[in-house]
Amino acid sequence: MLFNSWEFIILFTITSILYFNASYKLGVLLLLISSYAFYMYWRWDFAVIMLVVTLINYFSGIRIAKSKQHKVRQLWLFFALITSLLPLLYFKYANFFVANLNEILTVAGSIDTFSYFNLILPVGISFFTFQALSYTLDVYFGKTKVEKNIVRFGTFVAFFPQLVAGPIERSSNLLAQFKKKNVFNKSYFLEGSKLFIWGLFKKVVIADRLAIYVDGIYENPEIHSGPTLIVATLFFAFQIYCDFSGYSDMAIGTARILGFKLMQNFNLPYFASSISDFWKRWHISLSSWFGDYVYRPLGGSRVNYLKWLRNILIVFLVSGFWHGANWTFIIWGLLHAFFYFFESWGNLILEKLHLAKIKDTLVYRIFKIVSVFIAVCYAWIYFRSNSLSDAFLISNKLFSNWDAPFFFGSSTVSFVLSSFLILVLIIFQISQYYKFSSLYFSKPKSGWQLQFIWYLFLIFGISLFGLSSNSFIYFQF
């Protein structure tokens, strides 16, 4: 069930009306039922996996909170981690390991290979698994109190606006919000609706239109010239941003209408002036998750330089592996680790040469923003490519065949429209950067008249140029 479907609109409308008119206990139960109905729309057995993960972490949290012995608490934590991650590892990575094992056997000269599993990846399994585990880890580290109400906890794990593609919420934020009754709020309704419309525009008008060109190029990279591959990669950078941030905006907007405030998941990432800054702006809920539960437990930056390099490498490796069972994602993660290291070394050189003040100049800042964007776009090649061989081919062809004809796709008009939409996005995000327009419920400097015209433009654009979307990119993760 997609946000841009009539099924979702009907479900959300009914849920909202009943929720605002129900008692507190009945309202939370209603949200839980609606969340499972939303998820079961894909397949009912997917909901069984989510229920199992929910129950594991619910009871583990209680046992951890009750246990006084450190070893007992550790055992319950390990139990929750292993049993929660097993379904994720099985559905997402089983065939990846089989493929690599078969490759090793083939190289070794064996004619016997293992058969692949017939698996369908449950939608959003990475998201609800990490969200449930964050609660158990927080209980273990004493960052949050144990939740004994199974309905509240189940709603926290399954909350339908952010269930299948985030943001990955923490119990300290979202779970706490289920402990009070929300009433209809006109301001929340307007805030949520505006953010939903902007997210929908980014998805069905920009991302889905860019996808047509990008998919056509990346499916057959061997027949295209360097300039065509460069433009396709730039288009993908904006496609994946509009696709994923569009979902996050719609999720946050939907929750806001119901009276809940989800965490900000994107903060103008292509305005980042460093790789570390980029990861503070892109998929913030996942970046902070890895920071809290992987990076800092390893020692974070409070260790010697070599161990810090190790910690960064581990985090980006895990991040790449989280995104998919393919070597392309692992290389993508490693590239970001390399960019991180290169940036760190560059800052050290500037300090040793007593040129650190140059970082405060406008020219240097613009240079860094452009450099980071180019680096991120290069890494997107590996993220988007169907295989490592395709990624290597594209990388090698970026600066070749420049005398070959440029490919505009199936329609020159569609290409020009896509380019214009990217320009509209950039102009609007510049206005957000300077706080002229609203960003995540912030109060804009512009008047309500200009905002009214802008959202009329978005609605008009959705009606006229919106495409029918089948899914979001991050549903596969």
**Residue numbers annotated as active site:** 323
- Residue 138 in tokens: 């927080």
Tokens read off for 389? 């061989």
Q: How many CA atoms lie within 13 A of 41 on its CB side?
A: 17
254 within 8 A of 196, measured Cβ to Cβ: yes
Q: Long-range contacts: 374-377, Cβ < 8 Å, 24+?
A: 375/275, 375/339, 376/237, 376/270, 376/275, 376/278, 377/233, 377/234, 377/237
- In whole angstroms, how far apart are CA 390 and each of 93, 142, 253, 324? 21, 47, 38, 17
Nearest to residue 266, comparing CAs of 67, 75, 425?
A: 425
- Cα angle 281, 283, 286 (rounded to 5 degrees) comes to 120
Q: In this structure, what are the phi and psi dihedrals at residue 133, rounded to the nearest 5 degrees? A: -70, -35
Cβ(340)–Cβ(275) below 8 Å = yes
Q: How far apart are CA 103 and CA 163, in angstroms?
A: 36
In this structure, the chain runs to a length of 477
Look up residue 255 and give its two tokens.
């929750």
> Which of 331, 359, 336, 333 is closest to 346 using CA atoms?
359
